[in-house]
Amino acid sequence: MSNSDSFIDEVSEEVRRDRLFSLFRRWGWLAVLIVVAIVGAAAYFEWQSAQQRAEAEAFGDALLAGLESEEAEDRIAALSEIETPSPEVAMILALLAAGEEANADDPAAAAARLREAAEAPGLPRRYVDLALLKAQMMDPAPEDEARLVLEALAAPGAPYSALAEEQLALVDIRAGDLDAGLARLRGIENSAAATAGLQQRAAQLIVALESGAVLVDEPLEEAAAPEVEGAAPAEEDAVATPGGDATPDEEAAVEDEDTAPAEEDPAEEAAPVEDDEAGTPPVEEAADEAEATDAEVTE
């Protein structure tokens, strides 16, 4: 029995070995192919990440080198010459160049650059909305065009819907529709998509508009204080008259007195020269007295 059992075991082992060898011969190449594919894919992804890292480092170096210039025009020119490997990188570069143009007091060129960059195909929506929103804030478009763009940006679920709603409120206020602007601002104040800073800004604007404030787009430097009609210039106000402020009639009288020649008193001119009671005697009497004195001396 033991010999028969061992023989059966050996035969079974041989049968299993033959089956295993047959499976290897039939499907062994597939296992080798899978292993090679896994190793090759890992090597390819590593090479691709290294390439992307190298491109990012080169872009960052070029960007820092372009921003090191002292003049804004040089920085803008350097940023315009940088090659962009992807639409996202091109949008980031456009945002930086637009910021430099805005700092150089050229918001129209900055807005035009952002609107052109937003038309690039393959851009995620967050980049497109950000570019259009910043372009509207830098250089507002005409009212009809601005409403079309901002209403699309303010759609529910848009990444910058609350900010676009704020710009729409400003468009309504500029157009003279104060009620619509206040309604939009109150909606922002109660919106869950708005940040705390945006809600606070909307609340402050509501208080200012309800108190009678007027929205002014002019810079503070150009807004001059209104001149009061009929007010005298500063130099004329500095001229003071004795005794306090004088009326125009009093000022004219003072000028006439200063320019008029000095006149003598008529009473002084008409009065004759009279001798006092103990005054000097006439000339003839004085001469007779002198002759009488000389004769007494000679005697």
Quote the DSSP letter at residue 141. P
Q: For 207-234, how does the pLDDT look when each residue is reduced to its tens digit (9 = 90+)?
A: 998 887 776 655 434 433 344 344 443 3
Q: Which domain holds residue 199?
A: 140-215
Q: Are residues 76 and 169 in the same domain?
A: no
Instruction: Please indicate, yes or no, if residue 282 is contained in any of the structural domains.
Output: no
* Reported confidence tier of residue 4, pLDDT bands at 50, 70, 90: low
Q: Are residues 98 and 145 in the same domain?
A: no
Cα separation of 131 and 137, whole Å?
10
Domain boundary pick from 187, 215, 243: 215
Instruction: Please indicate, yes or no, if residue 285 is contained in any of the structural domains.
Output: no
* Global confidence as pTM: 0.57
**All residues at 6 or more sequence positions from 121 whose CB lies less than 8 Å from its CB, including other chains:** 87
**Which residue type does 199 have?**
Q
Q: Are residues 131 and 80 in the same domain?
A: yes
Q: Are residues 53 and 135 in the same domain?
A: yes
Instruction: Please indicate, yes or no, if residue 294 is contained in any of the structural domains.
Output: no
Cα separation of 75 and 97, whole Å?
8
Q: Are residues 113 and 35 in the same domain?
A: yes
Q: Are residues 134 and 82 in the same domain?
A: yes
Average pLDDT, the chain: 75
pLDDT value at position 23? 80
Q: For 172-208, how does the pLDDT look when each residue is reduced to its tens digit (9 = 90+)?
A: 998 889 999 999 999 998 888 899 999 999 999 999 9
Q: Are residues 203 and 130 in the same domain?
A: no
Diameter over CA atoms, the chain: 218
Cα separation of 259 and 147, whole Å?
70
Q: Are residues 112 and 151 in the same domain?
A: no
Instruction: Please indicate, yes or no, if residue 73 is contained in any of the structural domains.
Output: yes
Cα separation of 42 and 34, whole Å?
12
- The number of distinct structural domains making up the chain is 2
Instruction: Please indicate, yes or no, if residue 109 is contained in any of the structural domains.
Output: yes
Instruction: Please indicate, yes or no, if residue 155 is contained in any of the structural domains.
Output: yes
Cα separation of 133 and 167, whole Å?
9
Q: Are residues 85 and 180 in the same domain?
A: no
Instruction: Please indicate, yes or no, if residue 287 is contained in any of the structural domains.
Output: no
Q: Are residues 130 and 38 in the same domain?
A: yes
Instruction: Please indicate, yes or no, if residue 261 is contained in any of the structural domains.
Output: no
Domain boundary pick from 121, 139, 157: 139
29 pLDDT above the threshold of 50:
yes
pLDDT value at position 21? 81
Q: Are residues 153 and 134 in the same domain?
A: no
Q: Are residues 144 and 128 in the same domain?
A: no
Domain boundary pick from 139, 167, 189: 139
